[in-house]
């Protein structure tokens, strides 16, 4: 019996997929190919502050209670809670950052929104506390060590921009915190050329 | 030691940092070149051949599309199985049920009226079809209209979200079983296409 | 060698098309290598959107930058929106399509249309069809390449919904526009 090329190809496809089915049934765990893991992306307060000051389009979601929001919030933030998060419009074209006073809540909200297909989503690392301690009222060494002038100037100007001021301390070098971020943060890189959607 | 290095070199290369931004653009050019080449080879740069699909005369579009889909699907399964590619890291467009169904219907209407889809209109244009270029101009104009109307469409655009979800998650069955089912569907489709072509063309 | 290529390009009778299944396997392997190397699929309409967003950004920057739809394509403004993976890929499609057509004797200036319509009508329908299709593709977040092929291979629920609707829409309309093609 001579088979045409098309029939041979069809047979090959059938065989490879039949084997795929068998291997999936025999070793269910190794071939699950599930997409259960959603990876949380974090944004540092330094990056957020820089983006707000540079008037980049950012959307901020405050997940604390109403009284905390009324007392103080990061400029441009919108108040939401885990209970009314379903009213938040899914919009992946604008960078959206979630923050709270506890990172757990932001992470929970991240999962809820990512489950609904939202992308371009971040959790503010350190939440409102880091914003307060590191941007609004940053600690500064009294004498700025060498190689730290740039970052010190940057933090001072950010702090002033958001209406805070630096607090000078005698011991240690709190600027190491920012230096670490600037070196490791992925968002300080330029735009990735690979926009993933169509 | 050597083994560990080999294990690390798995896909997706770009996401795992094996190739940089600029190299990825060169690769894009190469991928596009092969993509355009195969489309043209199969005749998908011809509006008449594309339209013939919807009059049952020439089912090449269906055949080529589904062959490509099951080839890549089977490949993905086996690559993932042997650890050459982590399928979880491959980008998945999120599902929005209503906009994607309505979008598909509208797209189908545009396809048969214009005679091309976005990729094939580029191929047609490149091989000198002036109507292909007209179709590209229409596409650009349509995107502009969509962009300008976006504030009004936004709500509908974002309704009925299901998130990033595949049939494997949706039906909760093993990936290999889903692959097998879809391959069977495609093979049945190919068999039917051959029959339909013979039937329609014998009537002419 | 050159003479042979020239002869191939200028031949009068175009070569027959390849077997669609064989070309389909070729396309499937291209798609598969894109997944392995890039962790994304192929596309076409996305590149056109980048072109529209970039042009609009030159003509009316304020208007464009406040539109959320364009923002996704413009990025943060540090990189030219045309320096995008899909834009380069579509440039490749143009070159690849041309070369394949040239070697088969098919790359010639022509107008593809049915026997019963004029060139002007064909141009009008090609333009209008493109506009309708653009609307569908943007609503569905992808086209035949970005949704149907890419998502189809990934068994993406939304892509299969799109693909089925695409065929339903086209078959349902085909009878009404048969004068265009038959």
Instruction: Kindly list the residues from chain C whose CB atom is less than 8 angstroms away from the CB atom of residue A191.
Output: 75-76, 78-79
Instruction: Kindly list the residues from chain B whose CB atom is less than 8 angstroms away from the CB atom of residue C162.
Output: 100-101, 103-104, 107
CA–CA gap between residue B96 and residue B99 (Å, rounded): 6
Q: How far is A77 from chain C (nearest CA, A)?
A: 18
Q: What is the pLDDT of residue A36?
A: 52
- Other Cβ atoms less than 10 A from the Cβ of C111: the count is 15
Q: How far is C77 from chain B (nearest CA, A)?
A: 17
Q: How many CB pairs under 8 A join A and B?
A: 108
Segment holding B131, helix H or strand E = helix B130-157
Cβ-in-10-Å burial (0-12, 13-18, 19+) of C171 comes to middle
- Other Cβ atoms less than 10 A from the Cβ of B116: the count is 33
Q: Identify whether the C-beta of residue C160 lies closer than 8 Å to the C-beta of residue B167.
A: yes
Quick one: tokens of B118? 């976005």
- For residue C45, give the nearest of A56, A190, A198 by CB distance: A198
Which residues, including other chains, have CB under 8 Å from residue B76's CB and lie 6 or more apart?
B85, B87, B90, C32, C35, C153, C154
DSSP classification of residue A30? T
Which residues, including other chains, have CB under 8 Å from residue A36's CB and lie 6 or more apart?
B169
Report whether pLDDT(B2) > 50: no
Q: How far is C1 from chain B (nearest CA, A)?
A: 21
Query: pLDDT exceeding 90 applies to what percent of chain B?
Result: 73
Report whether pLDDT(B32) > 90: yes
Report whether pLDDT(A168) > 50: yes
- What is the interface pTM, i.e. ipTM, of the complex? 0.93
Report whether pLDDT(C166) > 60: yes
DSSP, collapsed to helix, strand or coil, labels residue A189 as: coil
Q: Identify whether the C-beta of residue C36 lies closer than 8 Å to the C-beta of residue B27.
A: no
C163: nearest Cα among A93, B77, B68, B174 = B68
In b/e form, how buried is each residue of B126-137, taking b as 16+ CB within 10 angstroms? bbbbbbbbbbbb
Q: How far is CA B183 from CA A18, A32, A71, B70, C28, in A?
A: 9, 18, 59, 6, 14
Chain C contact for B45, CB < 8 A? yes
Q: Identify whether the C-beta of residue A195 lies closer than 8 Å to the C-beta of residue C85.
A: yes
Cβ pair C85:A193 closer than 8 A: yes
CA–CA gap between residue B85 and residue C111 (Å, rounded): 43
Quick one: tokens of A135? 């941007």
Residue C130 phi/psi, 5-degree rounding, is -60, -45
Taking only the tens place, the pLDDT of each residue in C43-76 is 999 999 999 999 999 999 999 988 888 888 887 7
Q: How far is B131 from chain A (nearest CA, A)?
A: 24
Q: Identify whether the C-beta of residue A197 lies closer than 8 Å to the C-beta of residue C159.
A: no
Quick one: tokens of A88? 């938040």
Quick one: tokens of C120? 């002007």
Quick one: tokens of B72? 């890549």
Q: What is the pLDDT of residue C134?
A: 96
Residue of chain B whose Cα is closest to the Cα of C115: B48
- Per the prediction, chain B carries an average pLDDT of 91
Most confident range (mean pLDDT) of A25-29, A92-96, B81-85, B186-190 is: B186-190
Taking only the tens place, the pLDDT of each residue in A11-48 is 999 999 999 999 988 887 654 555 556 778 888 898 89
Taking only the tens place, the pLDDT of each residue in A45-54 is 988 998 888 8
Cβ pair C79:A193 closer than 8 A: yes
Q: What is the pLDDT of residue A31?
A: 46
CA–CA gap between residue A150 and residue A32 (Å, rounded): 50
Chain C contact for A35, CB < 8 A? no
User: Going along A67-178, which residue ranges are E strands?
Assistant: 77-79, 95-99, 121-124, 139-141, 167-169
């Amino acid at each position: 019996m001579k088979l045409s090329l098309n029939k041979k190809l069809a047979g090959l496809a059938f065989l490879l997929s039949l084997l795929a089915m068998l291997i999936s049934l025999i070793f269910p765990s190794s071939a699950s190919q599930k997409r259960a893991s959603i990876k949380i992306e974090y944004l540092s307060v330094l990056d957020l502050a820089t983006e707000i000051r540079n008037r980049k389009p950012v959307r901020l979601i405050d997940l604390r209670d109403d009284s905390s929001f009324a007392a103080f919030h990061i400029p441009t933030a919108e108040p939401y809670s885990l209970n009314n998060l379903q009213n938040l419009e899914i919009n992946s074209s604008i960078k959206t950052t979630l923050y709270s006073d506890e990172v757990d809540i932001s992470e929970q909200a991240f999962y809820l929104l990512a489950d609904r297909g939202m992308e371009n989503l971040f959790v503010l690392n350190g939440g409102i506390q880091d914003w307060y301690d590191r941007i609004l009222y940053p600690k500064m060494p009294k004498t700025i060590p060498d190689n730290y002038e740039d970052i010190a100037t940057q933090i001072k100007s950010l702090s002033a921009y958001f209406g805070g001021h630096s607090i000078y301390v005698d011991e240690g070098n709190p600027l190491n915190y920012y230096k670490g971020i600037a070196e490791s943060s992925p968002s300080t890189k330029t735009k990735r050329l690979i926009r993933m959607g169509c | 030691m050597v083994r560990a290095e080999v294990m690390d070199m798995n896909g997706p290369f770009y996401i795992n940092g094996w190739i940089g931004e600029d190299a990825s653009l060169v690769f894009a050019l190469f991928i596009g070149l092969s993509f355009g080449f195969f489309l043209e080879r199969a005749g998908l740069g011809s509006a008449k051949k594309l339209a013939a699909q919807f009059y049952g005369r020439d089912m090449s579009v269906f055949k080529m599309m589904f062959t490509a889909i099951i080839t890549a699907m089977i490949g993905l399964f086996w690559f993932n199985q042997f650890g050459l590619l982590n399928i979880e890291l491959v980008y998945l467009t999120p599902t929005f049920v209503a906009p994607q169904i309505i979008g598909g219907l509208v797209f189908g209407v545009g396809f048969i009226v214009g005679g091309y889809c976005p990729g094939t209109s580029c191929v047609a244009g490149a091989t000198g079809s002036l109507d292909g270029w007209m179709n590209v101009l229409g596409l650009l104009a349509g995107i502009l209209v969509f962009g300008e109307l976006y504030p009004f469409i936004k709500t509908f655009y974002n309704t009925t979200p299901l998130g990033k979800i595949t049939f494997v998650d949706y039906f909760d069955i093993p990936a290999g079983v889903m692959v097998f089912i879809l391959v069977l569907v495609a093979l049945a489709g190919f068999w039917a296409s051959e029959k339909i072509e013979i039937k329609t063309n014998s009537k002419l | 060698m050159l003479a042979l290529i020239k002869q191939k390009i200028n031949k009068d009778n175009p070569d027959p098309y390849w077997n669609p299944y064989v070309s389909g396997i070729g396309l499937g392997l291209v798609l598969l290598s894109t997944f392995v190397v890039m962790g994304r699929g192929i596309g076409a309409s996305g590149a056109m959107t980048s072109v529209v967003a970039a042009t609009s950004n030159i003509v009316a920057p304020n208007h464009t930058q406040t539109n959320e739809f364009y923002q996704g394509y413009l990025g943060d403004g540090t990189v030219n929106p045309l320096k995008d993976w899909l834009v380069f890929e579509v440039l490749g499609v143009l070159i690849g399509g041309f070369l394949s057509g040239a070697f088969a004797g098919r790359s010639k200036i022509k107008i593809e249309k049915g026997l019963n319509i004029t060139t002007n009508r064909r141009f009008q329908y090609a333009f209008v069809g493109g506009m309708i299709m653009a609307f569908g593709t943007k609503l569905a977040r992808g086209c035949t390449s970005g949704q149907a092929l890419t998502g189809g291979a990934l068994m993406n629920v939304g892509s299969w919904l799109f693909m089925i609707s695409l065929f339903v829409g086209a078959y349902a309309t085909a009878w009404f526009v048969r004068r265009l093609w038959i």
